Structure 1
Amino acid sequence: MCGIAGLIDPSLSADILRASAEAMADALAHRGPDGRGIWCRADRGVALGHRRLAIVELSEAGAQPFLSADGRWALSYNGELYDAIAHRPALETDGHVFRGSSDTEILIELIARHGVVGALARVDGIFAFAAYDRAQDRLWLARDRMGVKPLFYAATERRLLFGSQLSALTACSGFRPEIDPGAVASLLRHGYVPAPGAIYRGVAKLAPGHVLAWRAGEPARSEPYWSLDGVIAAGRDDPFRGTPEEAADALETLLRGAVRRQLMSDVPLGAFLSGGIDSSAVTALMAEGGARPRTFAAGFPEDPRLDESPHAAAVARYLGTDHTTIPIGEREALDLVARLPAIFDEPLADPSGLPTHLLCAATRAAGITVALSGDGGDELFAGYDRYALARRFARRVEPVPRPLRSLGAAALGGLPRGAAAILARALPPPWGGPEGVDRLRKAAGQLPGSGFDLYRRLLTLNPAAEALACGRPALQSPMDAPGALPLLARMRRLDSLAYLPDDVLAKVDRASMAVGLEARVPLLDRTIVEFAWRLPDNILVRQGKSKWPLRAVLARHVPPALFERRKQGFAPPLAAWLRGPLRDYARDLLLSPQAGGGFLDRGRVRHMLDEHLAGTHNHAVGLWPLLSFEAWRLHQSA
């Protein structure tokens, strides 16, 4: 993996053009500590920058930007092509003499022969790249199908900037973007800014599976070269018709192939192992054939409720991996909070970014440069608890006439706090406990709705996000156009289009690349994505268990007793931290006279914080995006 950046601005002198590209590339030095390259065509105002993290072909034969053999194309590329070796014979037959073994050379020669869109149709991997066509004076940007690798750009008819992160764009001389109020509202609602939006006006994320073409004097054109909706439609037209056991057979074959392709590396490689189904399945297939992969897990010795490391260690012992548990203490995580704006670059309100970054940093410090992860399994194979809750609601609650549900909601919501507390104490986890009253009232508010409404509410951090953002409307999101698929497919689709690329994958990318660690995601291999969308609901969820095909595959390698348990998650205890060690941090950020910079309703923010600190409500998930935005805003202004 690497960092890419560049610009086209014909108004700049050659010296300023190069200096701008150098500054943009250097803003991404953490993504590519192994080298920097700049390519310029000053007469056209074009400059491509690159920061290299050397993974395959460690010599200068893999350095970038890279020129095609015919001299027509220049490429700055971040990613890995997992099928690169399969294209090599045809290129050699066509007369190409390879300079090295990098997939960069494969990609640019495919572009030279088939064009950008033709090359994209032929390759499989995770990537973001910029390819400049010298013959047509046109720049192409492209991003991988599922959005594993990031790509931001800012385009007018006269100038285009691009980069792996926002910091590359803001490093360009004269580029001073303004915060988009709609993006702030989106952040407060979702915890992230959904693509193609970005926190700045005039800046966009290239959407997953899209390609953009730009030439001076013309508007930028972004079009899909691949569509998840197309994959879903194809899967519904040609569903898997075998038995559940045959589905597990097919998935195991596909996952074994994906893992094998993603073990390609000229540097030390390992895996993240939480002991859950997804990471354990990936690790089990890595360990086939007597291999002894290095695996890493985060441990939380101070809080057994969060600590999955004993389960990870048990799976590692069974598979025979070289396992390391990385203890993460509360103080270490709290010290990282102030650094998150610099790490994430665009505000991202996912508190699991704290342990994720600490795990990545320790893995890199142990000498590992590439780590395989289990991300994507929940979205593809219906693993999230919210799916089960929404489906249960649809089956058991929706049939009750809405007027009766509305009466019940009013009765529950109107209970005096003392009576609600008595009721909450009588309820089993997770509804009971000290915050049971708050949970009861939130649940009451959902009674009149549908199972899908419940799912959408579970993903909404602040239902009053637009009010908190001074009445500004949020940016459009896939959540605003949920479609008409059956409930489970609808939820999986929306998570795959928004939550997965804009939260989960963005978090892992920033957390890992901040320390020069490449994270790979075998479960998001194109073949597995397409297969998962062919599976019917009764195979995805079987015998009361979600992710049944993945469970079945894993059970062939690891005893179920080692992985069959309730999902714990990877998030710190935010509610307690905000009332304890982060209390002053939260008050200083959110209650200062300058808080919000005009983008937040300070009265509403104060009310939320006061209720949370008093213990009458748990607003932790709603306060975290407010804190994330304000910390980021102050970091940018500094």
Structure 2
Amino acid sequence: MCGIAGFLGTPASGTPDVALKAMTDVIEHRGPDADGAWCDSDARIALGHRRLSIIDLSPLGAQPMHAGSGRYVIAFNGEAYNYAPIRAELGLSGYPFKGHSDTEVLLAAFDTWGVEASVPKFAGMFAIAVWDRQERSLWLVRDRLGEKPLFYGKVGESWLFGSELKALRAFPGWRAAIDVTSVAQFLRHGYIQAPASIYEGISKVRPGTMVELRTGQVPREIVYWSAETAARAGLANPISGSADEIATALDAVLRPVVRDEMVADVPLGAFLSGGIDSSLIVALMQAQSTRSVRTFTIGFNDPRFNEAGFAREVATHLGTEHTELMVSGEDALRFVERLPAIYDEPMADSSQLPTLLISQMTRQHVTVALSGDGGDELFGGYSWYAGASGTADRLSHTAPALMRKMVGSVLRSIPDPPPDLIARLITDGDRAIGDRPANALTRLGARLVAPGHEASYQSVLAQSVTPADLMRPELRPRAGFGTLHGPWLDDTRTSESRMLFDAISYMPDDILVKVDRAAMAFSLETRAPLLDHRVFEFAWRIPYSDKVSEGVGKQPLRRLLFRYVPRELVERPKRGFAVPLAAWLRGPLRPWAEELLSAQSITAGGVLDVSRVRRLWSQHLGGLANHGDRLWAVLSLQAFLRNESRQHDLSRSA
């Protein structure tokens, strides 16, 4: 795991090497072991690299690295897990390798097959910048499911790129306006969907995509792998067999992936929550290890949210070397001021706090940690997949349009319904709404008036149905509705469509952003075996009826896990990585929140409507409603805006 940054063009001031160093210095946390730079003044190209040594710790693994032919220069972040067989194939043709890094194998592949033909051969997580000296083109490449981040955009006459936005902001002459439509999307869903970013003109490279940049030309985008295409191919070629046979087939795919992701020349461990996904990954790690696997978990002093005991029981059964950390709101307070600097753009997933805390603890013991991310999206783990047959969906299919519109309008007019009313109106199939009662009837009403299944699903997950209402009046006409965009299979596959939608949006733009920034803040590499594209493609061959039974998802994962861990240790209602946010905001985080939500701070931010935000805050503090999720989004945005103002002031005084 590393950090990369660079540019194609000329800095507004200073020399290219000074500009490049400014960009790589601010992402030192991604790679504290070494700093590499390469500039070609004639081609006006600069590649920078911060190294976190994982494989081949020798200087032969240093970057930027040059291909044997001299044609390609690469800055690479991530891992190509299948580099060994590719190296063996290239070695048969006599390619002269010097070291043992996967980076050198990537360059050898480019030399042999070219960039476009090579990238689909790589299995792993990666963000790549490679300069083709012959074609004078810069390639930016991101892994299939978006584990590794990569931003790019044009500032002045220069194309910039980097693992994090802060690297682009460090470029001399940086300027970019905040994108109002991205703000609206963030306030509605809690994250910003690729390719957009919080800044106008600055994009995320989409997962599974290569972007070719040339001076004076429009970027060329090439999709080398598509989650939608893979999903449709899997649905068209389903596997058959008993539940045990499917679990055995899954084991045959997942076990070698876990083995490959355990390869490292540094200490390695795993996050363990005690849930299905992380427990299975740890079980497969321990089954293939000659020593006790290091496992790490986090718990809360609030017993309503504490699951550390479950993880401890699983660790004891599997025989891992286990470490746990108990945290409180006071511990979270240590990080809230740092969130804008760590995440670079607003991030409204409050589980970022425990993720930061567990990453900090884990890095004290290991350099690499495996996780169970991806299990819910691939195997039907979230309640809202089963919720495709809930009350609102049935009404949407059967009730006349006029009736739906009338009922929806009435429900949306009830701002803070009592919990017992929600319980009476929302059945088990609508658990996605019932799980988050704040704004529940507003979102249920929005589902009834939504024009189709996709729009209805976005109403299920929305933190705010009309996000522009929280923004200043003059910004609302430009803000839009914060709509997400993605594939929808068809209306006969609503549950599968929801899973696919999450896999191409929620997972890369929320879950993986949260984990990457939190872990890399402490120079910790994370790996997610369930997000290997071979596992993804296999998972989509499993019929939905074999994934979800009687409303309970992840059946193949469960059945495989039960071969290693007794059912009673892991069978319990899913909680996720939830934090006692509502209580923390009324308690230890209140002074921090009060400052950001003061009328003065909101006015200074220039984006939010003072009276509407203050009303939310007052209702929450008074116990009239639980606006925890919406307030966390507002606080995240306010913290970002304040940090942005401070950075602007610093640049002006420099």
TM-score bracket for this pair, using the shorter chain length = over 0.9
Q: Structure 2 CA distance, aligned partners of 1:593 and 1:144?
A: 43
The match for 1:380 is 378
Matched residue, 2:5: 5
SS of equivalent to 2:105 = helix
Instruction: Supply the distance in 2 between the matched residues of 1:502 and 1:399 (Cα, whole angstroms).
Output: 31
In the alignment, what sits opposite 2:86?
Answer: 87
Return the letter of the residue paired with 2:241: G
Amino acid at match of 1:602: V
State which of 474, 480, 490 in structure 2 corresponds to 1:484: 490
TM-score norm. by structure 2 comes to 0.91
After superposition, where does 1:410-421 map in structure 2 within 5 Å? Answer: 420=418
In the alignment, residue 490 of structure 2 is paired with which amino acid?
A
2:564 paired with 1:592: no
In 2, the alpha carbon distance for the partners of 1:437 and 1:500 equals: 23
Letter in 1 for 2:583: A
The residue number in structure 1 matching 2:213 is: 214
| Partner of residue 99, structure 1 | 98
Inter-partner Cα distance in structure 1 for 2:89 and 2:412 = 68
Q: Deviations over 1:442-479 (max 9, x none)?
A: 65665666876664223211112123233133487544
Q: Could you give the per-residue CA deviations for residues 124-181 of structure 1, whole angstroms, max 9, x where no partner exists?
A: 1000010001111111000000000000001379421100000000011111222111
Matched, 1:465 2:467: yes
Partner of 2:528: 521
- 2:580 maps to which residue? 573
CA RMSD in angstroms, aligned pairs only: 2.8
Deviations 1:589-608 (A, max 9, x none): 12233525322222322222
Contact map agreement 2:127 2:142 (CA 8 A) in 1: yes
User: In structure 1, how many angstroms separate the alpha carbons of the residues matched to 2:411 and 2:199?
Assistant: 42
Give the aligned residue type for 2:4. Answer: I
Q: Does structure 2 retain, via aligned residues, the 8 Å contact 1:10–1:43?
A: no
Q: Structure 2 unaligned segments of length 5 or more: list them.
A: 647-654
Deviations 1:333-359 (A, max 9, x none): 122111111111222111000000100
Uncovered stretches (5+) of structure 1, i.e. residues with no partner = none
Q: Deviations over 1:35-68 (max 9, x none)?
A: 0000111112111000000000001010000000
The structure-2 alpha-carbon separation of the partners of 1:404 and 1:53, relative to structure 1 and needing over 3 Å to count, comes to: same
- SS in structure 2 of the partner of residue 162 of structure 1: strand
Distance 2:438 2:100 in 1: 61
What corresponds to 1:285 in structure 2?
Answer: 284
Q: Note if contact 1:387-1:488 (Cα within 8 Å) is conserved in structure 2.
A: yes
User: Structure 1's 437 and 537: CA in aligned 2 closer, same or farther, altered over 3 A?
Assistant: closer
CA distance in 2, matches of 1:31, 1:251: 33
* Cα contact 2:487–2:501 (8 A) shared by 1: no
* Alpha-carbon separation, structure 2, partners of 1:149 and 1:111: 20
Counterpart residue number, 1:389: 387
SS at match of 1:287: helix
Do the aligned partners of residues 214 and 425 (structure 1) sit closer, same or farther apart at CA in structure 2, a change above 3 Å counting?
closer
Contact 1:352–1:570 under 8 Å retained in 2: yes
Contact 1:421 1:437 survives alignment (8 Å):
no
* SS of corresponding position for 1:248: helix
The alignment partner of 1:484 has SS state of coil
SS of residue paired to 1:80? strand
The answer for the alignment partner of 2:514 in structure 1 is 507
**Whole-Å separation in 2 of the counterparts to 1:483 and 1:190:** 21
CA contact (8 A) 1:143 1:151 kept: yes
Task: Find the aligned partners of 1:102 and 1:348 in 2 and give their Cα distance.
Answer: 34
Cα distance, 1:110 vs. partner? 0.5
Q: Which range is displaced more, 394-403 or 94-103? A: 394-403
CA distance in 2, matches of 1:423, 1:197: 38
- Kindly indicate whether the alpha-carbon contact (under 8 Å) linking 1:240 and 1:534 is maintained by their aligned counterparts in 2: yes
CA distance in 2, matches of 1:414, 1:75: 56
* 2:329 aligned partner: 330
CA distance in 1, matches of 2:150, 2:496: 28
Partner SS for 2:47: strand
* Distance in 1 between residues matched to 2:161 and 2:171, nearest whole Å: 10
Q: Distance in 2 between matches of 1:482 and 1:416?
A: 31
State the identity as a percent: 44
CA contact 2:19–2:171 (8 Å) conserved in 1: yes
Q: Tell me the amino acid that sits aligned with residue 514 of structure 2.
A: K
Give the distance between the partners of 2:403 and 2:71, measured in 1 at CA. Answer: 69
How has the CA–CA distance of structure 1 residues 41 and 314 changed in structure 2, closer, same or farther, with 3 Å as cutoff?
same
**Number of the residue aligned with 1:562:** 569
Local SS of the residue matching 2:479: coil
Q: CA deviation at 1:515?
A: 0.2
Question: What amino acid does structure 2 have at the position aligned with 1:297?
Answer: T
In structure 1, the partner of 2:200 is 201
C-alpha contact (below 8 Å) 1:315/1:558 kept by paired residues: yes
For residue 613 of structure 1, what is the aligned residue in structure 2? 621
Q: Which residue is 2:297 aligned to?
A: 297
SS of the residue 1:593 aligns to: helix
Deviation at 1:410, TM superposition (A): 7.4
Cα separation, partners in 2 of 1:420 and 1:146, compared to 1, 3 Å: closer
**Distance in 2 separating the partners of 1:183 and 1:415:** 27
Question: 2: CA distance between counterparts of 1:465 and 1:416?
Answer: 14
> What amino acid does structure 2 have at the position aligned with 1:9?
G
Superposed CA offset, 1:87-112 (max 9, x none): 11222222222211100000011011
- Aligned to 1:44, the other structure's residue is in SS state coil
Local SS of the residue matching 1:43? coil
Give 2:63's aligned amino acid: Q
Alignment: residue pair count: 634
CA distance in 2, matches of 1:396, 1:591: 43
Name the CA distance, whole Å, in 2 between partners of 1:412 and 1:122.
Answer: 51
CA–CA separation in structure 2 for the residues paired with 1:266 and 1:381? 32
Q: 1:483: Cα distance to partner?
A: 5.0
- Match of 1:59? 58
Q: 2:311 aligns to what SS in structure 1?
A: helix
Give 1:394 deviation, angstroms: 6.4
What are the equivalent positions in structure 2 for 1:101-120 lying under 5 Å apart? 101-120=100-119
Give the AA of the match of 1:517. Answer: L
Residue by residue, what CA displacement relative to the aligned partner does 1:414-436 show, whole Å, maximum 9, x if unpaired? 8998x957757999999999x97
In 1: Cα distance, 2:423 partner to 2:122 partner: 56
Counterpart Cα distance in 1 of 2:446 and 2:89: 61
